[in-house]
Structure 1
Amino acid sequence: MPASPCINLTTEDKQTLLALARQTLVDYFIPQQSDIESQTQDALLSRHAGCFVTLFLDGKLCGCMGDIEGSRPLSKSIPELARCSAFKDNRFLPLLASQMERLTVELSVLSPLSPLKIRDEDALLRYLAEHPYGVVLSDAFHRSVYLPQVWEQLPQPDEFIRELKRKGGWASDHWSDDMQVELFTVEHFRE
């Protein structure tokens, strides 16, 4: 069972992190001397945690990028992921300055990844039917991740895993003895 989220964020912490992501995008279009990092608690932004920045335009997904490892402090990963979500998610057109007023930012801060030892895909599906966590599938050549929020769109474990495999470049019916499964929880929040 995954650990609880590694960062217990207060309402103020969440507002600070959302402001950092938004200010990064504002600064891209109108460069200015943003002082948001120096105004925040160093302890919060220096923490290492996996994180995803998801952008919505008029309520519709328009960009999402993440770092599941948490190898960098939030002060570095959130701005970079905000820019990548806005301008480098190949599924969507790059964000325009004129769209900023209609943009909503969502952040997902991940718990550490927990490996799940399972025998086969059926065992995974049975486990996920009771425990709808975020999932990372990987083998020697591919890796794919879905946040726990994806369960809202794909509520059936077989559908969730089938689409996760497609996203990772596997055939939807692929399974091998090399497949590794890691689970995680998130704290997600939006403007």
Structure 2
Amino acid sequence: MPDTDVGPRLLRLAREAIAHHLGLGPAPSPDGHPALAERGATFVTLTVAGELRGSVGSMRRTRSLAADVIANAIAACQDPRFPVLDAAAFAQSEIEVSLLDEPEFIDFADEAGLLRQLRPQQDGVMLFAGCRGVTLLPHMWAQLPRPELFLAALKEKAGIPLERPVDGLMAARYGVSTWRTDDGKPAS
């Protein structure tokens, strides 16, 4: 579980990064909190009027937590699946930052074995096929409440035919700590 002071700092950095990207404010400035210098993996999700407007993140801890959330916030406002976030939409946006725990690889022999090990409402899941990896955050269980649906969505996202068994694929699970701009408190 991360330091409780980290969440509000990550939210502030994400908001500053987007504002700066849109020409509405100065560059984001990490405040020197030691946790922000540690390597971390985050996802930044943007919603406007309850509608998803962008969600981009990192599956691996390759840069400092501050650098990761700043880069993902800018990328989320340019998520190619949605209209580019402009200043008007930004003013109405809610930002959610999810900090990923260290992933734990799941040992399984076949798809049934993987499905038995998934923990609905708890696990974020990474699926690896060759050099490609995809993930779904734990909050996606609300939309995909059964392990079979969750796995099918991961396979679809990875471009793997649904009828293809997961033999030869790798999977990992992780938890998250999530903060939203509406209250700044941990959401999970």
Assess same fold via TM > 0.5.
yes
Q: Give how far 1:162 is off.
A: 0.5
- 1:74 is matched with 65
- 2:17 is matched with 24
Q: Secondary structure at the match of 1:64?
A: strand
Q: Secondary structure at the match of 1:36?
A: coil
Q: Give how far 1:177 is off.
A: 3.0
- 2:186 is matched with none
Distance 1:176 1:101, change over 3 A: closer
| Identical-residue share of aligned pairs (%) | 28
Alignment check: 8 A CA contact 2:54 2:77 kept: yes
Letter of the 1:28 partner, please give it.
H
Q: Give how far 1:25 is off.
A: 0.9
CA distance in 1, matches of 2:162, 2:150: 11
Consecutive unaligned residues in structure 1, runs of 5 or more:
none
Q: Deviations over 1:86-109 (max 9, x none)?
A: 01x121010011112210000110
TM-score (norm 1): 0.88
Distance 1:35 1:187, change over 3 A: closer
Q: Where is the helix percentage greater, Structure 1 or Structure 2?
A: 1
Letter of the 2:72 partner, please give it.
L
Q: Give how far 1:129 is off.
A: 4.9
Q: Give how far 1:59 is off.
A: 1.3
Q: Does 2:46 match 1:46? A: no
Q: Does 2:107 match 1:114? A: no
Alignment check: 8 A CA contact 1:129 1:156 kept: no
Q: Deviations over 1:102-150 (max 9, x none)?
A: 1000011011111110111111111215684111111215321111111
Q: How many equivalent residue pairs? A: 181
CA distance in 2, matches of 1:130, 1:82: 27
Alignment check: 8 A CA contact 1:23 1:34 kept: yes
Runs ≥4 residues deviating over 6 A = none
CA distance in 2, matches of 1:190, 1:130: 22
Alpha carbon RMSD of aligned pairs, Å?
1.7
Consecutive unaligned residues in structure 2, runs of 5 or more:
182-188
Letter of the 2:54 partner, please give it.
G
The within-5 A match list for 1:131-142 is 132-142=122-132
Alignment check: 8 A CA contact 1:106 1:189 kept: yes
Letter of the 2:48 partner, please give it.
L
CA distance in 2, matches of 1:25, 1:63: 12
